[in-house]
Chains A and B, each alone.
Chain A
Amino acid sequence: MLSESERAEIDAERAHYPDAQAVSIEALRIVQAHRGWVSDEALTAVADYLVVPVADLEGVATFYNMIFRQPVGRNVVLYCDSVSCYVMGCERVRDGLCSSLGLQPGETTADQRYTLLPVVCLGACDHAPVVMINQDLHHDVDAERLAELLESYP
């Protein structure tokens, strides 16, 4: 079941498009913003609400990188692994994050505090390497000072 505010937000987006199918991605993003991820139940609820086939919605949900079909931690740590950040040392950042968090990319800490994921170019290549935690973009990340950065996200 979708919450009232989820439905209201979906309805607001719905008004921007000529059909319900078009609002699929927005609806998934809305539900994810509320719940952190899109569970099977949430997927079905959105499909029912929009009256689109659940298979279609699953096809959409699994296509886009930023729709999470598995639970994520409270803080989603995205490290850019695209070419400019590669040149500027993103592999060190990745290794640093993995060892600080005790995770491999794609995993979530046992305390549900962090999920570590790679992300493609965040368009801040003049400040590579970059990391995005939740909605915060961190420039010129120093692989030596990651623990400090992570600590600021409870």
Chain B
Amino acid sequence: MVRIQVDGQSHEVEAGGNVLEACLELGYDLPYFCWHPALGSVGACRQCAVIQLPDQSEQPGRIVMGCMTPVQDGMRLSLQAEPAVAFREQVVELLMTNHPHDCPVCEEGGECHLQDMTLMTGHHTRRYRGRKRTHRNQDLGPFINHEMNRCIACYRCTRFYRDYAGGTDLQVQASANRVYFGRAEEGALENHFSGNLVEVCPTGVFTDRVFSAHYARKWDLQTSPSICMHCSLGCNVTPGERAGSLRRVQNRYHAAINGYFLCDRGRYGWQHVQTGARLRNVRKKQDGVWQDVPAETAFAGLPGPRKLLGIGSPRASVEANFALRELVGAESFSMGVSRRERAVLRVCWEILRNTAARVVSLREIEQADAVLVLGEDLAHSAPRMALSVRQATRNAGFARADAAGIPRWQDQSVRTHAQNERSPLLVAHTYETELDSIATASLQADPGQIENIARAIAHKLDRRARKGPRLDGAAGAFVQAAVQAFSGARSPVVICGTSLRSENLLEACANIAHGLQARGTQVGLAMVMQECNSLAAAMLGGTSLEAIAEQAADATLLVLENDLYRRMPPERVQDLLHNADEVIVFDHLQTATVQAADRAVPVAAFGEGDGSYVNQEGRAQRAFQVFLPAAPIRESWRWLADLARALNLRDRVPWTRQDQVVEACAERLPAFSRLPEAAPDATFRMHGQRIPRQPHRYSGRTALHAGRSVHEPQPPLDPDTPLSWSMEGWAGQRPPALIASTWSPGWNSVQSWNKFQDEIGGSLRGGDSGVRLLSGGESDAAWYAYGDAPDQPAAGLWIVARPDLFSAEELSAQGDAIRQRQIPPHCALHPEDAGALGLQDTDLVNVTLADGSVCQLPLRLTGRVAPGVACVPLDAERAHWDLPARGQVRALGAQR
């Protein structure tokens, strides 16, 4: 710690930081534009000027840029000295010479950092009389609007997009006051983190195009803290609602997970809630015809509690799954996944629970000095993690900068000095992934070989790990590179996941981590799963779908938020549904499973209900209801309580409040014993008050409903959470799990997160939200003695699934904007294999699996796929394919 003086006040601050960060941490309002907590300092905007006073003399001192000036012990600073105040005002005056002053029609209005900073500097009168320079805008695709006239040239967009996220198609062009931030030509921004430009841009150059089409001011949006539902990482998000419809999703800062950034699937994946094929009423099939029926009769006429079977879901909340499990009994409960997926999920759970390694958060991955990724295409299966891995590769460069005395926050100097120096990143997968371009070693191999690579690495690190077959050539070199990378690493991370459906791979990776731990290395382990509650499903337990199918005869089958047609081949689903006596499906979309049911019950979609989710690192988090959906839509567990009552099984699901479900779950299942800590319960109050979902300025409370009644309705009570359905309540500092949207006097934009942190870029005050249900570091971890790797198929190919960001996940793939970014499905094949099979690029081919699954796809030849592997998209059409599997690729029309 060092001591500094700011306008006569003495403070202790962390050594090694810069003046701007120190001032913000101390609570001073020092304006800035180009600096960003995650992007560091570059000194471009000159807005954060302060006076640095000479040591003890009464000299006036000189202007320095806060962001570029390291704090030093005994430093004397002034924010209030007249020259600094005048300079900061002039910088805004200059920025405003070309700004269009179109705030009334700008989507950023009311949450604009430029507005805030303009006010903060006191600039109010325009003296510039000249013409404003104007630009042509570009169509940047379905996610982002472009309005370059508003640009103040802070360079944050390109710094985020290129330097931080690795994008290549956005760059600054031209020069002087004509600098232009755009693409070489019009077209959708290619990078999968493009949506963050909306929040990174301090004004309205890049705005949310989906939001803009159905726009409301920030102060008119009702928000709640929520969790992203579109992969297993559990990024924190803030959905915003107005007048009964969801309008947008914004990043919600979480230091250990998403930090300041979301992937585009996470930001734009919510549209199914508004425009998807929603199930909005209770429906019954009578004589083969669907009819809407009153909610009270949802469960009328059921045969009674004869034989109940329940199919849970990795995309439903813990509460919903738990309620179903309680209702039907553990033996009659299925996790809702195929046998093969169940097996790998159970192995994940078993490893994560027992591993000697740390189960790492994304933040910890960013700090790794070597990363090994085996069998995952992170950019698509866990996109935000890929962004963290990208940051981890910078650590060697940081070390180089440290040696040259360059502070880590001096972003451009660090990047220049580091050049292409990267920390070891090793990626082996069945095809070349996006991370391979920054990897120090990358390999494309078939699934069996990837297992063998994992075994070989584990064995080389520690002889106690079971040996695999001898590897040479490229695979051997990769193993060698991994062992070498780990030998110099102090905080390596091993990343694997369920994509290849390989228990052997997971166990071998656990052995790698175990071996590294045994060497005294602080190793981290991360296992990527497919859905937002995959790990919770594994923790809850239950049988596979195949197993439940065997019991289906004469049962009343309850299907919870699960489209079984994405899990098993259609014939098997039909058998299952047909064998059951009565099928009741609880879902929010009219899935194929809903269509095949006898009854359908409309449940809360994203934002419409409360629920808990456990991400891949075992962190349980609460997603809060953002708005009250139109009746009869309710959370699944409430319907299940009704059903229990109708079946005279009320004691099995006796709850009426969310907290009761959470507490019961914690009591019944030891793995979930800490679940109640995920967020404050419904009785929690700040200074006796609830936390409002609406901002202070929320407008039209009366007028919104005046069409129905001119009387202002009383806001509904929320029995489930400490949040209120109004603007009244405590909007100040509060536990992070309850912060949806930040505001602080003078700070209306997303930049206001700094007012809720003690340390810039650190945890929110009150600590990282959520509760870790597992943490790794178990001392009695054992070596896994995995089975043999599958042999190279004598004939045929490995068919593997590619989980494209915009196609693979069930819910997000139904959104309009996301759909526009989906790439046409194709089968990718190595040219050597194509040659052997007599196939040409763009041929239409039949892809066939041994189990009879078949599809037609255009062929694309690429050296990026491992020889012997054919890669097909994991999308709605192929979600049920049991991949990887052996199969054939044949020219269309060829005979078997």
**Using a CB–CB distance below 8 Å, which chain A residues touch chain B?**
40, 43, 53-59, 62-63
A38 to chain B minimum Cβ distance, whole angstroms, is 12
Q: Which of B172, B174, B184, B185 has the most CB of A within 10 A?
A: B184
Say whether B656 faces chain A, with CB atoms less than 8 Å apart: no
Contacts of A55 in B (CB 8 A): 168-171, 183-184
- With the chains together, A43 CA to B171 CA distance in Å? 15
Contacts of B172 in A (CB 8 A): 59
Say whether B175 faces chain A, with CB atoms less than 8 Å apart: yes
- With the chains together, A59 CA to B171 CA distance in Å? 6
Contacts of A54 in B (CB 8 A): 169, 184
Chain B positions 139-198 with a Cβ under 8 Å from a chain A Cβ = 168-175, 180, 183-185
Interface range for B: 10 to 19
Contacts of B184 in A (CB 8 A): 43, 54-55, 57-58
> Contacts A53-B168, A55-B168, A56-B168: A62 and B173 contacting too (C-beta < 8 A)?
yes
- With the chains together, A57 CA to B180 CA distance in Å? 14
Contacts of A63 in B (CB 8 A): 173-175
- With the chains together, A59 CA to B180 CA distance in Å? 9
Please, which residue of chain B has its CB at the minimum distance from the CB of A56?
B171
- With the chains together, A55 CA to B172 CA distance in Å? 8
Contacts of B185 in A (CB 8 A): 40
8 other A-B residue contacts (CB within 8 Å) besides A59-B172, A62-B175, A63-B175: A43-B184, A53-B169, A54-B184, A55-B169, A55-B183, A57-B184, A62-B180, A63-B173
Q: Which of B168, B170, B171, B185 has the most CB of A within 10 A?
A: B171
Contacts of A59 in B (CB 8 A): 171-173
Contacts of B170 in A (CB 8 A): 55
- With the chains together, A62 CA to B172 CA distance in Å? 9
- With the chains together, A53 CA to B172 CA distance in Å? 12
* 11 CB-based A-B contacts, threshold 8 Å: A53-B168, A53-B171, A54-B184, A55-B183, A55-B184, A56-B171, A57-B184, A58-B171, A59-B172, A59-B173, A63-B174
Please, which residue of chain B has its CB at the minimum distance from the CB of A52?
B168
A52 to chain B minimum Cβ distance, whole angstroms, is 9
Please, which residue of chain A has its CB at the minimum distance from the CB of B181?
A59
Please, which residue of chain B has its CB at the minimum distance from the CB of A19?
B420
Contacts of A58 in B (CB 8 A): 171, 173, 184
Interface of chain B: mostly helix, strand, loop or mixed? loop
Please, which residue of chain B has its CB at the minimum distance from the CB of A54?
B184
- With the chains together, A60 CA to B407 CA distance in Å? 28
Contacts of A56 in B (CB 8 A): 168, 171
A147 to chain B minimum Cβ distance, whole angstroms, is 34
Q: Which of A53, A56, A58, A59 has the most CB of B within 10 A?
A: A59
A112 to chain B minimum Cβ distance, whole angstroms, is 25
> Contacts A40-B185, A55-B183, A55-B184: A62 and B174 contacting too (C-beta < 8 A)?
yes
Chain B positions 373-412 with a Cβ under 8 Å from a chain A Cβ = none
- With the chains together, A54 CA to B169 CA distance in Å? 7
- With the chains together, A40 CA to B175 CA distance in Å? 19
- With the chains together, A53 CA to B185 CA distance in Å? 12
Please, which residue of chain A has its CB at the minimum distance from the CB of B185?
A40
- With the chains together, A56 CA to B169 CA distance in Å? 8
- With the chains together, A74 CA to B248 CA distance in Å? 54
- With the chains together, A56 CA to B171 CA distance in Å? 6
B188 to chain A minimum Cβ distance, whole angstroms, is 14
Please, which residue of chain B has its CB at the minimum distance from the CB of A65?
B175
A138 to chain B minimum Cβ distance, whole angstroms, is 28
B125 to chain A minimum Cβ distance, whole angstroms, is 34
For the complex of A and B, list the 5 residue pairs with the smallest distance between their C-beta atoms, beginning with the closest: A53-B168, A55-B171, A59-B171, A58-B184, A62-B173
- With the chains together, A40 CA to B180 CA distance in Å? 17
Contacts of B183 in A (CB 8 A): 55
- With the chains together, A63 CA to B173 CA distance in Å? 7
B161 to chain A minimum Cβ distance, whole angstroms, is 10
- With the chains together, A62 CA to B173 CA distance in Å? 6
Contacts of A40 in B (CB 8 A): 185
- With the chains together, A43 CA to B175 CA distance in Å? 18
- With the chains together, A62 CA to B695 CA distance in Å? 45
Binary interface encoding of chain B residues 193-222 relative to chain A, with 1 for a CB under 8 A from any of its CBs, else 0: 000000000000000000000000000000
Contacts of B173 in A (CB 8 A): 58-59, 62-63
Q: Which of A40, A43, A56 has the most CB of B within 10 A?
A: A56
- With the chains together, A141 CA to B56 CA distance in Å? 60
Please, which residue of chain A has its CB at the minimum distance from the CB of B161?
A55
- With the chains together, A62 CA to B174 CA distance in Å? 5
A59 to chain B minimum Cβ distance, whole angstroms, is 4
Contacts of B168 in A (CB 8 A): 53, 55-56
- With the chains together, A50 CA to B287 CA distance in Å? 67
B788 to chain A minimum Cβ distance, whole angstroms, is 42
Please, which residue of chain B has its CB at the minimum distance from the CB of A58?
B184
- With the chains together, A55 CA to B168 CA distance in Å? 7
- With the chains together, A96 CA to B174 CA distance in Å? 29
Contacts of A62 in B (CB 8 A): 173-175, 180
Please, which residue of chain A has its CB at the minimum distance from the CB of B172?
A59
B656 to chain A minimum Cβ distance, whole angstroms, is 57
A41 to chain B minimum Cβ distance, whole angstroms, is 12
Please, which residue of chain B has its CB at the minimum distance from the CB of A53?
B168
- With the chains together, A56 CA to B162 CA distance in Å? 10
B416 to chain A minimum Cβ distance, whole angstroms, is 13
B646 to chain A minimum Cβ distance, whole angstroms, is 61
- With the chains together, A5 CA to B308 CA distance in Å? 78
Q: Which of A40, A54, A55, A56 has the most CB of B within 10 A?
A: A55
